[in-house]
Amino acid sequence: MEQDTQINNEDTIKLKLRRVIFGTDTRLGRYFDISLIICIILSVTLVFLDTVASINSQYGQLISILEWFFTIVFTIEYLLRLYCSAQPVQYVRSFYGVVDLLSILPSYLALLFPGANFTLVIRILRLFRIFRVLKLLRYLSEGNVLLRAMLQSGRKVFIFFFSVSLIVMVLSAIMYVVEGPGNGFTSIPKSIYWTIVTITTVGYGDITPGTNLGQAIAAFTMLLGYSIIAIPTGILTAEISQEMGKSKDLRRCSNCLKTGHENDASYCDHCGSELEAEI
């Protein structure tokens, strides 16, 4: 009997913890999420600042102490998640489970393999920690409209990028022959780099055409990039407009069959008969 109550107590604690850690519908759950986001942002900022030579030489020790503090906080968080999860194995295998593990592993691995560059590469993985914040985005309907519009326009955008990449390759090959290694176009891959720099209107200026013909082709490439930027914008805008329009209203007037009423309309604006509520 006593044991049974204990198990029940444990279950209650587990359930409460689960609501706080995994859920966002309680006040404590929201506090937990917000403080987690703050920890993530601070720890990532630390990693970034640590790479600045002047800061590293002055506050290096403080940063590594704070680093360990956040590692321990995230480790406790990971263990709590494991403990209160309904299906621990599924959690470990899930996308967020892997991200959670990756956010604490680098510090422990740095202990085992102390090598500057190697640690840095792993530390980058820690950045994925911040994607947990995206969990919140699921609750914003705005994100859905954007996502739907992007998925809808996916195939059109793919065709666009496929055509652009063909044009880029042809232009790169031509520029390689026209300009040659003397003007920085040392190979076709390097020439592709230049073409992308130009067609996206970035224009670093580290490689620039030197011959008259090369400059004419470059001018053509720029004008091309300048014009075709309109295409994905046009596709996406049209899709977003449609998605917004869709979310307006699907009711059809039973009297005159008109559709496309405003969301808050109670009467058909064409014949004046009452509209039925949406089902």
Stretch 52-91 residues interacting with a second copy (CB under 8 A): 52-53
Interatomic CA distance for residues 188 and 192, integer angstroms:
6
Sites for a second copy among residues 7-46 (CB under 8 A): 44
Does residue 265 belong to the site contacting a second copy (CB under 8 A)?
yes
Q: Among residues 61, 117, 139, 278, which is the contact residue for a second copy, using CB under 8 A?
A: 117
Do 271 and 256 meet the contact criterion of CB atoms below 8 Å apart? Answer: yes
Q: Does 149 bind a second copy (CB under 8 A)?
A: yes
Shortest distance in whole angstroms from residue 133 CB to a second copy: 8
Could you tell me the two tokens for 155? 């195939």
CB of 73 to a second copy, least distance (A): 20
Q: In the structure encoding, which two tokens stand for residue 45, read together?
A: 């900022």
User: Which window, 9-17, 68-76, 86-94, 156-164, contacts a second copy (CB under 8 A)?
Assistant: 156-164
Q: What is the DSSP letter of 83?
A: H
How far is 113 from 104, CA to CA, in rounded Å?
15
| Residue of the chain from 20, 21, 110, 192 that contacts a second copy (CB under 8 A) | 192
Binding range to a second copy, per CB under 8 A, among 29-37, 58-66, 83-91, 198-206:
198-206
**Interaction residues for a second copy, span 211-230 (CB under 8 A):** 212, 215-216, 218-219, 222-223, 225-227, 229-230
| H runs (alpha helix) in the chain | 2-21, 27-50, 53-84, 88-93, 95-102, 105-112, 116-125, 141-152, 154-179, 188-199, 212-228, 230-246
Q: For residue 48, state whether it binds a second copy (rule: CB under 8 A).
A: yes
CA distance 237 to 47: 38
Closer to a second copy by CB, 20 or 178: give it: 178
Beta carbon nearer to a second copy, 97 or 209: 209
Place of tokens 């914003």: 140
Work out how close the CB of 74 gets to a second copy at its nearest, in angstroms, rounded to a whole number. Answer: 18
Sign of the Cα torsion 60, 65, 71, 77 reads negative
